[in-house]
Amino acid sequence: MKELSGRVAVVTGAASGIGFAMASRFASEGMKVVLSDVEEDSLASAVASLEQDGYAVRGVACDVRFQESVDALREAAVREFGAVHVVCNNAGVARAPGGGYMWEYDLNDWEWILSVNIMGVVHGIRSFVPLLLEQGEEGHIVNTSSGNGGLSPMRGLPIYAASKSSVTQISECLWGQLEAVTERVGVSVLYPGPKALDTGLWTAERNRPEELAWSKPRETQSMDGLKAYMSDAGVDFEVTPVSEIADFVVRGIREKRFWLIPESENNDATIRARADSMLERGAPEYMIQARELVLGGMGEGGK
């Protein structure tokens, strides 16, 4: 899809971070954009900031955990702008690194993260792909994965890693199935980076549903806290601006690229290490490299 102007984009998790950066970039290309998020106050502020710049945008509150909520998002987009051409299944949540072993986590931790990060993508596909096919126009789906899981998992973030690995494989299967029925609808899987991201991901607890709360009090990790933790460990905290990620996504859509993996030596080394381990039928020793020990500390009693 080389021409974006006049087309319609829908972005979930668009009130801040990568989602808002993508929505802003689409709007600057002349697209009409529907921003959705579960955090209504922040969503309203995000929409207002783009409207002030004269862009054609609308905000729709949406909890991607529920199919009916995503269906309502689709209906609102069509009602407002008449069609949808680009869908970014971007909403995601995570627990901060560390805090114990996966067998000690609450079941609520698993249900909350998987329901947003996996089922949110599934719901987006079920809601929007039939519409994209029915329209008979060019369309594109972008699913946000992560280097942690999509490329190589960090042992300190097992639930998040599992969810993002699933997003990668769901996207591969979606690409294969769409290729069998149409050339008009493309698919991309996005790995933001290549450096760390200063987004609201690590403070996602602010939007955690009460029915999926922790069973016992636990400290949450802010971005400032994460930066301090890494600094104390002697690790440089370099950040990729979210605007660069949005630019990367636009290029990927125009070029109809599936793998949206930023070029970097670290990414290439990670991919090779994991592939070599599989080809050699060996142990996943890349799981214990120094960077992983910092970002994925296991908490008290951990190794």
Residues classed as catalytic: 160
Sheet architecture: strand order including 185-190: 57-61, 32-37, 8-11, 86-89, 139-144, 185-190, 259-260
Helix axes 158-181, 107-117, angle to 10 degrees: 30
* CA 280-286-291 angle, 5° bins: 165
Contact predicate 298/157, CB 8 Å: no
Q: How many residues does the chain have?
A: 303
What's the CA gap between 221 and 218, in Å, rounded?
A: 10
Cite the beta strand spans of the chain per DSSP E.
8-11, 32-37, 57-61, 86-89, 139-144, 185-190, 259-260
User: Cβ(42)–Cβ(35) under 8 Å?
Assistant: no
- In order, the DSSP letters of 66-93 are SHHHHHHHHHHHHHHHS---EEEE----
User: Which 3 state secondary structure label does DSSP give 55?
Assistant: coil
